[in-house]
Amino acid sequence: MKKIILLIFLATVLPSFTVTNSTFTIVGSWKAIDKGKTVFMIFDREGYALMGSEGKMLGGKSFDINGEKGTMSYKADLSKNPGTLDITITRLSNKAQKKLLGIIKVVNDNEIRINLAGDIRPVTFDGPQTVTFTRVVM
């Protein structure tokens, strides 16, 4: 009788636990189609991000835009639900920063969904700004 009760308990409790893949890393190159255009995001091990579309890349440890030097960094926290993704663009001349607040969902090791907004972090993956990226394997 105790075994039956234990089995019933385990059958009802275990499905409520989510197993996370601790081997997942956002580091790497990601590609998506957004509004008919191919877009890329690259996350490196040092915490820098690059974004690009149609052959134009912006970001990283050092980039130039309109004669200004800057950096683009990222911070991802996948322990939250949904996970958070913050992109920070820093102007090197005066250290002024602009943050893009977003959410991220790991679909599997090679697919992520990102909803990246402005000053207010989105709370769902609904809406046209949500993009599904696939890992680029080189």
Could you tell me if residue 73 is left (phi over 0), alpha (psi between -120 and 50 degrees) or otherwise beta?
A: beta
Q: What is the pTM of this model?
A: 0.79
pLDDT of residue 15: 40
Which structure tokens are listed for 109? 């090791």
**Domains along the chain with CATH numbers:** 2-136 (2.40.128)
pLDDT of residue 22: 59
Residue listed under structure tokens 């977003």: 102
Question: Which residues are CB-contacts of 102 (< 8 A; sequence separation ≥ 6)?
Answer: 84, 85, 86, 87, 114, 115, 116, 117, 121, 122
Report residue 108 CA to chain centroid gap: 13
**Residue ranges, the chain, pLDDT below 50:** 1-21
pLDDT of residue 38: 94
